[in-house]
Structure 1
Amino acid sequence: MKFNFKFQNLLGTVYKKGDILFTNDGNCVISPVGNKITVYNLKQNKSNTLSVESNYNYTAIDVSPNGAVLLAINEKGEAQMVSLLTCAVIHRYKFKHQVNAVKFSPDGKYFAACCRETVFVMSAPCKFTGEYRSFEMKRVFRKAHDEVTCLDWSTCSKVLAVGSKDTTTKIYTVDYLDNFNMYALSGHTDKIIGTFFEKKSLDLITVSRNGQVCMWEASIDSDDLVVSDVQISHKKRRKVMKEDDSDDDINEKDVIEKDKEQEGSDDNEDNTEMKVEDEKRLHYKKLGRHYIGDAIRNADRKVKLTAAQYHKDTKMLVTGFSNGTFFLHELPDVNLVHSLNVSEHRIGSAALSPHGDWLALACPHIGQLLVWEWQSEQYVMKQQGHTFDMTCLAYSPDGLYIVTGGYDGKVKVWNTSTGFCFVTFVEHKSTVTGITFSANKKFFVSSSLDGTVRCYDLTRYRNFRTMTSPSLVQFSCVALDSSSELCAAGGQDVFDIYIWSVKFGKLLEVLGGHEAPVSCLAFSPSLASSKLASASWDKTVRLWDSIETTTESETIQLTSDALQVVFRPDGNEIAVSTLDGNITMFNPTTSEQTASIEGRNDLGSGRADTDLITPEKMLKTKAFTSICYSADGTCILGGGNSKHVCLYSIREAILIRKFVITQNQSLDAVNDFINRRLLTEFGNMALVEERTELEGADVNIRLPGVKHGDMADRNVKPEVRVHCVRFSPTGETFAVAATEGLLLYSQNAGIDGTFRPYRLESGSTPYAMRQLLEEKSWGPALVGSLQLNELTLIQECVETIPYNDITAGVIGCKTQ
């Protein structure tokens, strides 16, 4: 069995928070999913999660005009410039604070980022000049009196409109112009949500949070401003052309002082330039103000406008509100085209396709992402993940489908080849605790804490059987036998095992004997055996014969509470994970122990912010809550309340590989230690949150006795956990149901993106390269390793070459 598993795709989570946008061809939607980015192909109906990962959740993203570079910034201000061609991080940059918005200029030369009350304009990689400038600072604007929220570029890429929380919109220019410094537009009574330039014009549209839309007309044309190079003084041009030697170590104070010098030097110009300045000065005139949210706000005053987007070609304005309603207006007459309520939760982001026919909306609270075609009024894509964490999963016998259940009571079926969910069952009224597939792939069974066990048909997509107990029982697990005729479920509050006939839905037997909740059930996969293994918190595993009428069982005593029990694919061995962190293997026929694995130290401690004990004490509470055999039965996979998934070899009882499912520090218990700077005599300062905005409302107490929002609502970080792990029947992939979603790991993942051989020959093998290294043929060995394009082999060749031989022309001579 090969063990080169790599991350392949992320399912189960569609959208977390942040900006969504269309690609330049309009066929794909880019959505931030936690600290990862997923691209949904609407033409091919597929989803692909990029291999790029950040340390925190992404909040602001944008794509360059040529579609080759993706700029992604997380909630801590750490920016990554990602190549969409190779899915590699080109460069990194760290802003000091959270970035609210980022956008490339239409010509692709610059990009602007909003950070608190400051706007940074930086140079972007340009394909025309072939130069790459890693976040080189061009201009810095710090004129806003409050936090900057949105921005937009003019068509000529020389003018920038920036909206902020101080209810004003400011106009800046990238170049230093004599006749233009800064222009402020006021007139709104709430913070600005969106600012948009008209196409090939400086006319502006601003949208505020209370639903006001203002339209502004510029008194000069954009062409007059484009040819403003004549108006730039030679003195200022010399100041602008000064280059800084450093790329990343940019002194923002020097750039700000440079702007102040440009403003103060206007009085030193000659009279000719003053006349040109007076003649060409830019003025804005308000054409009108429209209240598009009055119909909603009259019914509920707490409803706020939370998202806005404008399509410059079709002049369509889309606005989303905190109650899940969005409007589509046609400007400049502000005619309502469509109005639709997509959910009951806030719309966090909106986007329009380049052609203007598709509209994308995202709701962060429920993790919903939909693409709607407003002309035909049809959904192009509608995907929604589980509202809360997933609790269980099951592979279909052919490995094509994965069924997941969650705390929200929903059961979803995912296609592993496309990454989309194509059916959702909502019959359960409480947490889904177990899911298992039938051997013939025609149906699957789920158990829930609502006291029901339901059978779902994958042909007609319906719940065709509901099985219950004589008295109300919370079922904690479910299992199907190899013939798919018997279904067994274990109780959590009543310590019995119930067996039904799937064909008739009749309760056949109630097995009693456990003295604690039944944690897991497993039927033998062998057709010749009818054994049923049950694990319980009473430190026992019982083996039952499901065909015989007697309720006698064989008991296996354990050293600690049993959490999971699984059969090997051939049915000749069972594995049991216990609360002490061990995995023990038994022979189901003789009940003898065959192997044991101690894996508590491999899980890692993972100290949370609220933990008051040391990591050493926290490690003693770790255990494998989910285990699974590989397809060939030689290895076992386990996961628990940790960010690690461990793969063990049963024969040698050693750890083969440890997979880190996430590095997202926006989740809790990712790090083993807490930063000592946050620990005070009053507790962990990371638990102190800033109560500012929530769902568009304000939770601060403004007046005595007056409260807005829910003062009891807290922003709690979810804790990283692995709820379930399962190998596919083919053994090529395995799935992990964790806090971030459903992660797929495959042996074939990343081959197209990493292994790119060049001019390979029959003798181009790693063994041949190592033979050349022994012969001290450094040149051919290095060239051959570059042809194979294997990182470990290249590193070995580079480190083996003596530094005395690394001179100009030596490698080339030896290669010849």
Structure 2
Amino acid sequence: MKFAYRFSNLLGTVYRRGNLNFTCDGNSVISPVGNRVTIFDLKNNKSDTLPLATRYNIKCVGLSPDGRLAIIVDEGGAALLVSLVCRSVLHHYHFKGSVHSVSFSPDGRKFVITKGNLAQMYHAPGKKREFNAFVLDKTYFGPYDETTCIDWTDDSRCFVVGSKDMSTWVFGAERWDNLIYYALGGHKDAIVACFFESNSLDLYSLSQDGALCVWQCDTPPEGLRLKAPTGWKADLLQREEAQEEEEEEEGQREITIRGKATPAEEEKKGKVKYSRLAKYFFNKEGDFNSVTAAAYHKKIRLLVTGFASGIFHLHELPEFNLIHSLSISDQRITSVAINSSGDWIAFGCSGLGQLLVWEWQSESYVLKQQGHFNSMVSLAYSPDGQYIVTGGDDGKVKVWNTLSGFCFITFTEHSSGVTGVAFTATGFVIVTSSLDGTVRAFDLHRYRNFRTFTSPRPTQFSCVAVDSSGEIISAGAQDSFEIFVWSMQTGRLLDVLSGHEGPISGLCFNPMKSILASASWDKTVRLWDMFDSWRTKETLTLTSDALAVTFRPDGAELAVATLNSQITFWDPENAIQTGSIEGRHDLKTGRKELDKITAKHSAKGKAFTTLCYSADGQSILAGGMSRFVCLYHVREQILVKRFELSCNLSLDAMEEFLNRRKMTEFGNLALIDQDAGEEDGVAIPLPGVKKGDMSSRHFKPEIRVTSLRFSPTGRCWAATSTEGLLIFSLDAQMLFDPYELDTSITPGRVREALHQQEFTRAILMAFRLNEKKLVQEVLEAVPREDIEVVSASLPELYVEKALEFLASSFEVSRHLEFYLIWTQKLLMSHGQKLKPSAGRLLPAIQFLQKSLQRHLDDLAKLCDWNRYNLRYALAISKQQGVKRPLDLPGVEDDGEASDEDSLNLLGGAGDEPTATAAPDCLG
């Protein structure tokens, strides 16, 4: 149970590709991020990634009208039927081909997918248990090229499909007599979107070249007639009608066959016909400004169009009046969605990974998020575990809130890739190193770069470390093989430590002493004493190049990852190796698409590149050029658990064996395509591109783990990878983890003890049963005046469990004062007794501090807001000379009050206002 970490959330990736959807209440956006789906709650300012994943990148998502079900289809055509209520997969299905779009009918009974040049209609899954959730009803043919978009009528009787062959096809969902299919032309480019008018068969079609056609239908939806059945169905209906005629003796009723009109009426009514009323053109500026995405709100008749240049337009239909136009990006807009009320519009840009929600009436952003454009390189937790800072190859430094999952500030001062990030002990300063030759310090109070550290000669910094006091900053160079040491207060360079004969790959300060450990490619780890004239204290000789180094939280052990896939453990006091772990077989690297050797042989060149101790120091996490993260027990030196970060086959180096579908008579198909672009055995890169995998014509990012960190609370850990920033946490709600349980402890016995007011015995029994709801029920049943006596009578063994429960309750409960009293009485009663086990209790205390800090920040913002409103009201009342109606302390008879007294009422006048987060996190 201790290592039952499960995937919790995905940060740093807000949109990859596919279509965006709003939930039925219009308050949340559903965004596909790679092979996962993230729900952004705009009302509560929180993001949540569903605990499911597809085999390839998600291409389209279809949402049911009631918002309970979703169909998620990946690039390979595999589909997942997902319940958004219980967040689980209900059914797997394969459409046997690449699906472009999927759409439910408004009544929720059917859904249509477009695949190739045809459309297929399926019966939607119902609320009852079914053996096969997807049943194919009908296949529609007509377009000659790939289909692109779908839209339904409000009564679910017909649907329209757009195609790349510049035609729009209207199909009947039932066997209508006067509408089987109808083809509409008039465009000169591929159809991007097509929409029905509300409660009508009139429709709009929009093509890629910026042409909008308005089509009018001469028949209302009620005018559609069902086709008469033939064959055995007709005979069966005639028999049923004969029986009904015999039973009914009241008058002669009109002869109808299942809603079909009589032959006389049928002759009068003809087939459904469409006519083009108008054709409008957008102001285009060349081919680069073609229409790429569109959405239409039927109730308010609002058309939103996104262009390849990053501009979007708002038009009112059918008059085609331009309401608004704005440029939101320099990349093409990939997807557009409007919420149910028509107030918010969501835009997705796959080129930069941007997700924006725009409120068009107030012309303001509701959400504006973007991950790192290139891969994340490093991460660090704040001391209370509330924030995570990440640095990427794009030179940006982003700070994420672990509770909401949003980035609230982006620093763009670096001009090259960020190689290392670190928090100081206070948690309000971030120190970063970069390849641009600078080490910068950022202030989280005022969101500014207040220190810039440089070296005498230009050099590229590969790592950074901050000591426990936050006064000394050190950074390692990868070209001059030196370590630079600065003072945080003065910003001056204190010393340059030389002695390594290779690039510096890692730095780490001892948490308890002023000792710096530096790892290098010269097969050594050097320990530097910061107080002893900056001299080398010890030199640890390794068998291979050192790639990462880290201290245990108590500073009594040192772990080093080397190029030969080993993790060695050292005693830093005596410079003695205490153990080693062979991790080559645990890393399990995959075979790349262009590899000519097997995954087993390619793993010989792979190694762990990042290490991290757990909060209690008993375990260590290791990751590298693989999709796996290994958790080892340090003392036993065994593999405890291996976590798979991704199963996305759209990434490279994921498959262990060669895919037989890519094998031809000439060998691997990928190698044939690669060799076709070579001249004399030299691959031809794209012009102007010199670095990395992006230089090849076929770009497929390789899965890798660049950094790992445990949260100070010990309840979760984070990893930066090709997929983004993944967070794994202990899901206590899904686990039954009793403690010293016997047959006499039952929920009934616990409630019986509560009824007899034996609170201490009830609490002990509830903690031994370890059910969260039962513990909450027992604690909240204790009267407020008895809390001090009950907390003092608890054994020390149960105090840690009580503190962990209180810390988790602060995140969800509204009984803030009640739980604060419990926390105060526990710490006051057992504070001295718990000092010997402070190391074991540290994660629980930090978890508690994180929860309290969050409430403090929220209340501080509220108090500041009230203070500024009162100050504004005072100033307005003084200007107008009106006597203030508020009866506040310090108010005199003449209507004037002292500002100090008014401010002391809500939060105190001397408190510094809490800085609010900048809404623009795109950088």
TM-score past 0.5 threshold: yes
User: Which residue of 2 is the match for residue 729 of structure 1?
Assistant: 712
The answer on 1:361 being equivalent to 2:360 is: no
User: Which residue of 2 is the match for residue 745 of structure 1?
Assistant: 728
User: Which residue of 2 is the match for residue 446 of structure 1?
Assistant: 432
User: Which residue of 2 is the match for residue 173 of structure 1?
Assistant: 172
- Tell me if the contact between 1:13 and 1:742 (Cα under 8 Å) persists in the aligned partners: yes
Tell me the distance in 2 between the aligned counterparts of 1:126 and 1:194.
Answer: 29
1:549 to 533, 537, 548: 533
Gaps (5+ residues) in structure 2? 238-259, 675-693, 749-770, 773-923
- Tell me if the contact between 1:636 and 1:647 (Cα under 8 Å) persists in the aligned partners: yes
| Cα deviation code 1:450-488 (max 9, x no counterpart) | 000000001111111111001100000000011100000
Change (3 A) 1:181 1:643: same
Tell me the distance in 2 between the aligned counterparts of 1:751 and 1:70.
Answer: 24
Q: Give the drift of 1:153.
A: 0.5
User: Which residue of 2 is the match for residue 717 of structure 1?
Assistant: 700
- Tell me if the contact between 1:123 and 1:133 (Cα under 8 Å) persists in the aligned partners: no
2:465 to 472, 479, 492: 479
Tell me the distance in 2 between the aligned counterparts of 1:487 and 1:684.
Answer: 51
1:658 to 638, 642, 645: 642
SS of the residue aligned with 1:664? coil
Gaps (5+ residues) in structure 1? 242-269, 691-710, 766-786, 789-816
Alignment of 1:439-518 (within 5 A): 439-518=425-504
User: Which residue of 2 is the match for residue 538 of structure 1?
Assistant: 522
Change (3 A) 1:455 1:166: same
User: Which residue of 1 is the match for residue 271 of structure 2?
Assistant: 281
Tell me the distance in 2 between the aligned counterparts of 1:653 and 1:742.
Answer: 28
| Cα deviation code 1:588-616 (max 9, x no counterpart) | 11100111111111010211001112222
- Tell me if the contact between 2:526 and 2:536 (Cα under 8 Å) persists in the aligned partners: no
| Cα deviation code 1:134-170 (max 9, x no counterpart) | 1111111011111000010011101010100010001
The answer on 1:63 being equivalent to 2:63 is: yes
Q: Give the drift of 1:344.
A: 0.3
Tell me the distance in 2 between the aligned counterparts of 1:753 and 1:191.
Answer: 56
The answer on 1:432 being equivalent to 2:418 is: yes
Tell me the distance in 2 between the aligned counterparts of 1:358 and 1:428.
Answer: 34
Tell me the distance in 2 between the aligned counterparts of 1:647 and 1:746.
Answer: 14
Between 1:712-721 and 1:70-79, the stretch displaced more is: 712-721
Q: Give the drift of 1:189.
A: 0.3
Tell me the distance in 1 between the aligned counterparts of 2:157 and 2:70.
Answer: 22
User: Which residue of 1 is the match for residue 631 of structure 2?
Assistant: 647
Tell me the distance in 1 between the aligned counterparts of 2:236 and 2:312.
Answer: 44
Alignment of 1:183-198 (within 5 A): 183-198=182-197
User: Which residue of 1 is the match for residue 26 of structure 2?
Assistant: 26
User: Which residue of 2 is the match for residue 232 of structure 1?
Assistant: 228
SS of the residue aligned with 1:620? helix
| Cα deviation code 1:1-30 (max 9, x no counterpart) | 811100000001100000101000001000
**Number of residue-to-residue matches in the alignment:** 705
Change (3 A) 1:64 1:516: same
- Tell me if the contact between 2:376 and 2:706 (Cα under 8 Å) persists in the aligned partners: yes
Tell me the distance in 2 between the aligned counterparts of 1:93 and 1:354.
Answer: 29
Change (3 A) 1:234 1:752: farther
Q: Give the drift of 1:182.
A: 1.1
Q: Give the drift of 1:125.
A: 2.3
Q: Give the drift of 1:232.
A: 2.9
- Tell me if the contact between 2:589 and 2:625 (Cα under 8 Å) persists in the aligned partners: no
Tell me the distance in 2 between the aligned counterparts of 1:271 and 1:560.
Answer: 87
Alignment of 1:297-446 (within 5 A): 297=285, 300-446=286-432
- Tell me if the contact between 1:725 and 1:735 (Cα under 8 Å) persists in the aligned partners: yes
Letter in 2 for 1:733: C
Alignment of 1:631-780 (within 5 A): 631-680=615-664, 682-686=666-670, 714-748=697-731, 751=734, 762-763=745-746
- Tell me if the contact between 2:288 and 2:309 (Cα under 8 Å) persists in the aligned partners: no
Q: Give the drift of 1:552.
A: 3.5
Tell me the distance in 1 between the aligned counterparts of 2:98 and 2:263.
Answer: 40
Change (3 A) 1:715 1:356: farther
SS of the residue aligned with 2:288? coil
| Cα deviation code 1:557-579 (max 9, x no counterpart) | 00000000101101111100000
Tell me the distance in 2 between the aligned counterparts of 1:564 and 1:4.
Answer: 26
Letter in 2 for 1:47: S
| Cα deviation code 1:743-792 (max 9, x no counterpart) | 0000126639999xxxx995599xxxxxxxxxxxxxxxxxxxxx99xxxx
| Cα deviation code 1:311-354 (max 9, x no counterpart) | 00010000001111111111111111111111100110000000
Letter in 1 for 2:660: R
- Tell me if the contact between 2:589 and 2:627 (Cα under 8 Å) persists in the aligned partners: no
The answer on 1:568 being equivalent to 2:568 is: no
| Cα deviation code 1:18-44 (max 9, x no counterpart) | 010100000100000011000000000
Q: Give the drift of 1:619.
A: 1.3
User: Which residue of 2 is the match for residue 807 of structure 1?
Assistant: none
| Cα deviation code 1:355-382 (max 9, x no counterpart) | 0000000000111001000000010011
Letter in 2 for 1:157: S
Q: Give the drift of 1:683.
A: 4.8
- Tell me if the contact between 1:178 and 1:233 (Cα under 8 Å) persists in the aligned partners: no
Alignment of 1:109-148 (within 5 A): 109-127=109-127, 134-148=133-147
Q: Give the drift of 1:132.
A: 7.8
User: Which residue of 2 is the match for residue 154 of structure 1?
Assistant: 153
Q: Give the drift of 1:553.
A: 3.9
User: Which residue of 2 is the match for residue 252 of structure 1?
Assistant: none
- Tell me if the contact between 1:6 and 1:749 (Cα under 8 Å) persists in the aligned partners: no
SS of the residue aligned with 1:616? helix
- Tell me if the contact between 1:196 and 1:310 (Cα under 8 Å) persists in the aligned partners: yes
SS of the residue aligned with 1:505? coil
- Tell me if the contact between 1:201 and 1:221 (Cα under 8 Å) persists in the aligned partners: yes
Change (3 A) 1:147 1:240: farther
Letter in 2 for 1:542: R
- Tell me if the contact between 1:636 and 1:650 (Cα under 8 Å) persists in the aligned partners: yes
Alignment of 1:77-116 (within 5 A): 77-116=77-116
Structure (1/2) with the larger strand percentage: 1
Tell me the distance in 1 between the aligned counterparts of 2:736 and 2:90.
Answer: 15
Letter in 1 for 2:362: S
Change (3 A) 1:26 1:240: farther
Tell me the distance in 2 between the aligned counterparts of 1:239 and 1:160.
Answer: 31
- Tell me if the contact between 2:169 and 2:183 (Cα under 8 Å) persists in the aligned partners: yes
User: Which residue of 2 is the match for residue 579 of structure 1?
Assistant: 563
SS of the residue aligned with 1:513? coil
User: Which residue of 2 is the match for residue 44 of structure 1?
Assistant: 44
Q: Give the drift of 1:304.
A: 1.5
- Tell me if the contact between 2:431 and 2:441 (Cα under 8 Å) persists in the aligned partners: yes
Tell me the distance in 1 between the aligned counterparts of 2:466 and 2:261.
Answer: 91
Tell me the distance in 2 between the aligned counterparts of 1:615 and 1:432.
Answer: 31
SS of the residue aligned with 1:619? helix
Change (3 A) 1:750 1:340: farther
Letter in 1 for 2:81: M
Tell me the distance in 2 between the aligned counterparts of 1:324 and 1:281.
Answer: 42
SS of the residue aligned with 2:287? coil
Tell me the distance in 1 between the aligned counterparts of 2:410 and 2:383.
Answer: 20
Tell me the distance in 2 between the aligned counterparts of 1:460 and 1:639.
Answer: 35
